[in-house]
């Protein structure tokens, strides 16, 4: 498998990363097509890491969720992966503010035959989440959007999370910058989010050092 378009975790020696990457399941044709188009964009660095997407795929196949939420869709790499793994009748709600980037996602969802499982809502994700019915249950969620609202997104999702539900949060290692004391706004927000999750006695959480760090959260 080509390593083009993958990202080495900052904490992993390159030799080990290469060894593992060569043995991970490679992208599907649909993922490769989406990755190729996304990598032509100026904001290509926002694309969801393939290894992290594989983790989501395995979780969704094992969990068999009925209703999923994605906060931050960009061009749709993670949503394409999640939707492709959903059982019959399951739904994925995608929240994003960009018509331009999600139009790329829409085309690739259609090409992959998963568009009928996905609802895309354009607008501030926090408003979308707060507008959901109080009794709506979320089985699986992905957070990968503006870092300043990570804790707010988490707050809205966790109160609707089913007992068997899982939240996957991307970028929680932030290339090691979460260890720094002199931080920018995004880094400070991620530090606050990580501390908030760690202190939440309602949950069990673990951060997996793939990509830029993926934190998995479930109810305790």
- Sorting pLDDT into bands at 50, 70 and 90, what band is 7? low
pLDDT in tens, 53-81: 999 999 999 999 999 999 999 999 999 99
Is residue 57 a part of any domain in this protein? yes
Give pTM, 2 decimals: 0.94
**What is the residue range of 42's domain?**
14-219
Nearest to 21 by CA among 38, 4, 36, 33: 4
Is residue 3 a part of any domain in this protein? no
- Sorting pLDDT into bands at 50, 70 and 90, what band is 6? low
Question: What is the count of structural domains for the chain?
Answer: 1
Is residue 53 a part of any domain in this protein? yes
- CATH code assigned at 105: 3.40.50.150
Nearest to 32 by CA among 1, 60, 69: 1
Is residue 4 a part of any domain in this protein? no
Is residue 62 a part of any domain in this protein? yes
Mean pLDDT of 133-143: 96
């Amino acid at each position: 498998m080509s390593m083009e378009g993958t990202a080495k975790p900052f904490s992993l020696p390159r030799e080990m990363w290469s060894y593992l990457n060569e043995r991970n399941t490679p992208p599907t044709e649909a993922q490769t097509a989406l990755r190729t188009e996304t990598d032509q964009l100026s904001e290509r660095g926002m694309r969801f890491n393939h290894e992290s997407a594989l983790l989501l795929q395995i979780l969704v196949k094992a969990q068999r969720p009925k209703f999923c939420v994605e906060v931050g869709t960009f061009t749709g790499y993670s949503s394409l992966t999640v939707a492709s793994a959903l059982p019959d009748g399951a739904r994925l709600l995608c929240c994003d503010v960009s018509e331009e980037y999600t139009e790329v996602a829409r085309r690739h969802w259609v090409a992959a035959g998963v568009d009928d499982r996905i609802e895309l809502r354009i607008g501030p994700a926090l408003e979308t989440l707060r507008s959901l019915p109080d009794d709506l249950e979320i089985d699986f969620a992905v957070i990968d959007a503006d870092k300043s609202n990570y804790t707010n997104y988490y707050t809205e999702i966790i109160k609707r999370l089913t007992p068997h539900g899982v939240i996957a949060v991307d970028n929680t290692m932030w290339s090691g910058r979460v260890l720094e004391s002199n931080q920018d706004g995004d880094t400070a927000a991620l530090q606050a989010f990580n501390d908030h999750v760690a202190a939440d006695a309602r949950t069990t959480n673990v951060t997996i050092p793939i990509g830029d760090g993926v934190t998995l959260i479930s109810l305790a």
